[in-house]
C-alpha cells in the first residue's frame, strides 16, 4: 500500500492524528473543529504559558469557550505541548503561525521558516503538511518544499533508490489559507469553504480529504500558488474598498455630508454594490498586512502595484485624520491637544473581541502621546494592554463612571463594542469623537463629532 493510500484510509476512518502548529486565533479553533469530528489532535506551540491552560481545559481567547476545550481534553481528543519531537506521532501537520510585516513593511516569514525547519527535522514518510498562514504566492514551494525534500530517507524500501524525500510520494504538501473571522455570528471554521492547493495532484487529493472531514466544502485549485494568491485577493479586495470609503468619508466630511447615511442609502441597491465602512484605521491579522505581501512579491517581477499601494497609503493615514478632526473639535472649545485628557474607547481591532492585532487604537495612542495628550483607555474585554511587536504601553483599562467620563476633554470611540452604553457615554462626556457611527441613535448629539 502506498503512502497516499494508507493516509487516505486513516483519514476516512478518522484514525489519522492531526497536529496543529500555532494555537492562536486560527490554530486553536481549527484543532477543536477536528476534535468535534472525532479526530485526535496534538496542538504545538512555543508559548509555554498556553500549554498548561489548554490542557486544563481553559481558554485565553474570549470567543472560544472553555467548555469547548475541556470537552475535547476530557474526551482525550486534544492535548497541547511545546515538545515538537512529538511531530512524528501525527499524520497531518497544519501550520498556523503569524506572518507580520517588518519595520520596512516587508514580509516577515521567519515564523514560517522556523516552523518549516522544525517540521523538516521530524518529518516522517507518509505525512501531510499544510501551510495556512497568509503569505505571498510561492512561499509553500519556495520556502517549505526545499526544506522537506532535503530530508534524508529512512531506508524505506519504497524509496531505497533515492537519497531524499519526494513530494507527492514520500510526503504531501499543500497550502490552504485560513479564513477565520473572530466572533462572526454567522460563520465559523467548519462552515467557511476551504480553498486548497497542492504541490502535486496527490498532495491536493490528500489535503482535500483531510478538510472534507470537517469543513462544509473544499474548493480545490490548480496549485499552492493559486491558493496563496486567492487569500491575498480576498483581503486586497477589502483593503481597496475600505480605502475608497475612507477617502469618501474625508470628502463628504468637507461637504458636510454624513458618509454613514450615504452608505445606508447606497446599499439599498440589490445588485452591484457591497457596503464597506470607514473607521480609524485598519486592524486585524490580515487586511493591514496581506496586500503588502503581494506588492513585495510583485517587485520581483518588475511590476508596480500602484492601486494596492495607494489603498494602503489611504488606510494608513486614517489615524492621523482622526486626530486632526479631534484637534479641530478641541480647538472649537478653546482647548489644544497638548495637555488634553483623552480617553480611547476600545483597544481591540473590532467590536466584541479581545484581539488587538494591528489595532488602530494603538496607533491613535501613539499619535496622541506624541502631541502631548494625556491618554487613557477603556476596553471591557482587554483589562491591560499587552506588549506587541511595536508597542509596550503598560496601560490598564479605566472604569467608565460618570465622574471618569466627565473628567476627560475628549472621549474617542475607536472600537464600537456592543455592551457600551452609548447614551450614558454621550451624556457624561464633554466631547465625543465617534469613528464608528456608534452614537447614531443618541438623541442629544451636540457634543458628538463623527470622524
Complete DSSP assignment for 130-150:
EE-S---TTHIIIIIHHHHHT
Average pLDDT, the chain: 94
C-alpha count within 13 angstroms, C-beta hemisphere, residue 429: 29
Q: Which three cell numbers stand for residue 434?
A: 465617534
426, 402 contact by CB (below 8 A): no
DSSP three-state, residue 202 = helix
* Structural contact between residues 123 and 171, judged by C-beta atoms closer than 8 angstroms: yes
- Give 169-196 pLDDT, tens digit per residue: 999 999 999 998 887 888 999 999 999 9
Same domain membership, residue 212 and residue 261: no
Report the pLDDT averaged over residues 70-85.
Answer: 97
Residue 227: inside a domain, yes or no? no
With respect to residue 233, please indicate whether it lies within any of the assigned structural domains: no
**Band (283; pLDDT cuts 50, 70, 90):** confident
Residue range 401-424: average pLDDT?
A: 97
CATH code for the domain of 103: 3.40.50.720
Which range among 96-100, 151-155, 158-162, 412-416 shows the weakest confidence by mean pLDDT?
Answer: 158-162
Asked if residue 242 and residue 152 are part of one domain, the reply reads: no
Residues 304 and 211 both lie in one domain: no
User: Could you give the residue ranges of the DSSP H alpha helices within 333-414?
Assistant: 360-370, 402-406
Length reported for the chain: 451
Cα gap 279→51, rounded to integer Å: 36
Contact partners, residue 354, CB within 8 Å, separation at least 6: 61, 62, 348, 381, 382
**Which letter does DSSP use for residue 200 in this model?**
S
Separation between Cα atoms, residue 350 and residue 127, nearest integer Å: 37
In this structure, what C-alpha cell is assigned to residue 42?
496534538
What number is the average pLDDT over the span 138-150? 95
Considering the domain architecture, whether residues 218 and 243 belong to the same structural domain is answered as: no
Distance CA 154, CA 156 (A): 6
Per-residue confidence (pLDDT) for residue 62, from 0 to 100: 84
Residue 11 clears pLDDT 50, i.e. is over it:
yes
206 and 293 housed in the same domain: no
Q: Let me know whether 252 and 134 are in one domain.
A: no
- Beta strands across the sheet bearing 410-413: 374-378, 341-345, 410-413, 432-434, 448-450
Whole-structure pTM value: 0.91
Q: Which residues contact 449 (CB under 8 A, 6 or more apart)?
A: 325, 326, 329, 431, 432, 433, 434
Q: Is there a single domain that holds both residue 256 and residue 348?
A: yes
The domain tally of the chain equals: 2
What pLDDT was estimated at residue 33?
Answer: 97
**DSSP string across 252-304:** HHHTT--HHHHHHHHTTSSSS-------SS--SSSTTTHHHHHHHHHHHTT--
The Cα angle at residue 349 between residues 347 and 355, in degrees rounded to 5: 80
**Is the per-residue pLDDT at 439 higher than 60?**
yes
Same domain, 348 and 437: yes
Using alpha carbons, select from 143, 224, 180 the residue that is nearest to residue 31: 180
Distances (CA, A) of 53 to 42, 84, 275, 384: 14, 18, 40, 19
Q: Is the pLDDT of residue 159 over 50?
A: no
Spatial separation of the C-alpha atoms in residues 70 and 74, rounded to whole Å:
6
Both 430 and 326 in a single domain?
A: yes
Can you read off the three cell numbers belonging to residue 339? 495637555
160 within domain boundaries: yes
pLDDT digits (tens, 9 = 90+) for 199-233: 999 999 999 999 999 999 999 999 999 999 999 99
User: What was the pLDDT predicted at 154?
Assistant: 56
Answer whether residue 230 is part of any domain: no
Cβ atoms < 10 Å from Cβ of 320: 14
pLDDT tens digits, one per residue of 327-373: 999 999 999 999 999 999 999 999 999 989 889 999 999 999 999 99
Please indicate, yes or no, if residue 179 is contained in any of the structural domains.
Answer: yes
pLDDT at position 425: 97
Q: Which residue among 194, 222, 250 closes a domain?
A: 222
Model pLDDT, residue 162? 54
User: Which of 161, 195, 222 is the endpoint of a domain?
Assistant: 222
> Can you read off the three cell numbers belonging to residue 384?
491591560
Where is average pLDDT lowest: 72-81, 257-266, 354-363?
A: 354-363
Which domain covers residue 60, as residue numbers?
Answer: 3-222
For residue 63, name the pLDDT band (cuts at 50, 70, 90).
Answer: confident
H helices present in 45-179, as ranges: 50-55, 66-74, 110-122, 139, 145-149
Closest CA to 205 of 218, 191, 214, 190: 218
**pLDDT for 157:** 46
Whether 205 and 262 share a structural domain: no
Using the 3D structure, point to which of 198, 222, 246 is the last residue of a domain: 222
Based on the domain organization, do 254 and 213 belong to the same domain?
no
Q: Which comes out higher in pLDDT, residue 292 or 268?
A: 268
Closest CA to 39 of 86, 97, 78, 85: 78
C-alpha cell at 85: 519531537
Own/partner contacts of 244-251, CB < 8 Å, gap of 24 or more, are 244/276, 244/311, 245/276, 245/277, 245/278, 246/278, 246/279, 246/314, 246/315, 246/318, 247/314, 248/278, 249/278, 250/321
| Residues designated as active site | 286
Nearest to 81 by CA among 140, 23, 153, 142: 23
Whether 217 is covered by a domain: the verdict is yes
CA 424 to chain CA centroid, Å, is 32
Residue 231 lies in a domain: no
Residue 183 lies in a domain: yes
Residues 9 and 158 in one domain: yes
Amino acid at each position: 500500500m502506498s503512502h497516499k493510500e494508507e493516509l487516505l484510509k486513516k483519514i476516512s476512518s478518522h484514525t489519522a492524528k492531526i497536529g496543529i502548529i500555532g494555537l492562536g486565533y486560527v490554530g486553536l479553533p481549527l484543532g477543536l473543529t477536528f476534535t468535534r469530528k472525532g479526530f485526535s489532535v496534538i496542538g504545538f506551540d512555543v508559548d509555554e504559558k498556553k500549554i498548561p491552560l489548554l490542557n486544563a481545559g481553559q481558554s485565553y481567547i474570549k470567543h472560544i469557550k472553555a467548555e469547548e476545550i475541556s470537552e475535547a481534553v476530557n474526551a482525550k481528543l486534544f492535548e497541547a505541548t511545546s515538545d515538537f519531537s512529538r511531530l512524528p506521532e501525527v499524520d497531518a501537520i497544519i501550520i498556523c503561525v503569524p506572518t507580520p510585516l517588518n519595520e520596512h513593511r516587508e514580509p516577515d516569514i521567519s515564523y514560517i521558516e522556523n516552523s518549516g525547519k522544525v517540521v523538516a527535522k521530524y518529518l516522517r514518510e507518509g505525512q501531510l503538511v499544510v501551510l495556512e498562514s497568509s503569505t505571498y504566492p510561492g512561499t509553500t514551494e519556495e520556502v517549505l518544499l526545499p526544506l522537506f525534500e532535503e530530508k534524508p530517507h529512512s531506508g524505506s524500501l519504497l524509496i531505497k533508490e533515492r537519497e531524499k524525500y519526494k513530494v507527492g510520494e514520500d510526503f504531501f504538501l499543500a497550502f490552504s489559507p485560513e479564513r477565520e473571522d473572530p466572533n462572526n455570528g454567522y460563520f465559523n471554521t467548519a462552515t467557511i469553504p476551504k480553498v486548497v492547493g497542492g504541490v502535486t495532484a496527490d498532495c491536493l487529493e490528500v489535503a482535500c480529504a483531510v478538510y472534507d472531514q470537517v469543513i462544509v466544502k473544499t474548493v480545490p485549485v490548480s496549485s499552492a500558488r493559486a491558493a496563496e494568491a486567492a487569500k491575498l485577493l480576498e483581503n486586497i479586495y477589502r483593503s481597496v474598498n475600505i480605502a475608497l470609503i475612507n477617502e469618501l468619508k474625508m470628502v463628504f466630511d468637507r461637504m458636510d455630508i454624513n458618509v454613514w447615511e450615504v452608505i445606508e442609502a447606497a446599499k439599498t441597491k440589490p445588485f452591484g454594490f457591497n457596503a464597506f465602512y470607514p473607521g480609524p484605521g485598519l486592524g486585524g491579522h490580515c487586511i493591514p498586512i496581506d496586500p503588502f505581501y503581494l506588492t513585495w512579491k510583485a517587485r520581483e517581477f518588475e511590476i508596480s502595484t500602484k492601486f494596492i499601494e495607494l489603498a494602503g497609503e489611504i488606510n494608513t493615514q486614517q489615524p492621523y485624520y482622526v486626530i486632526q478632526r479631534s484637534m479641530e473639535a478641541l480647538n472649537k472649545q478653546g482647548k489644544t491637544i497638548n495637555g488634553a485628557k483623552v480617553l480611547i474607547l476600545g483597544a481591540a481591532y473590532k467590536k466584541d473581541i479581545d484581539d488587538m492585532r494591528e489595532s488602530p487604537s494603538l496607533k491613535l495612542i501613539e499619535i496622541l502621546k506624541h502631541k502631548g495628550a494625556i491618554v487613557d483607555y477603556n476596553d471591557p474585554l482587554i483589562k491591560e494592554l499587552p506588549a506587541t511587536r511595536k508597542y509596550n504601553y503598560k496601560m490598564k483599562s479605566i472604569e467608565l463612571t460618570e465622574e471618569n467620563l466627565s473628567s476627560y476633554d475628549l472621549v474617542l470611540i475607536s472600537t464600537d463594542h456592543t455592551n457600551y452604553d452609548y447614551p450614558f457615554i454621550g451624556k457624561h462626556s464633554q466631547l465625543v469623537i465617534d469613528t464608528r457611527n456608534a452614537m447614531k441613535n443618541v438623541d442629544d448629539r451636540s457634543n458628538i463629532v463623527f470622524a
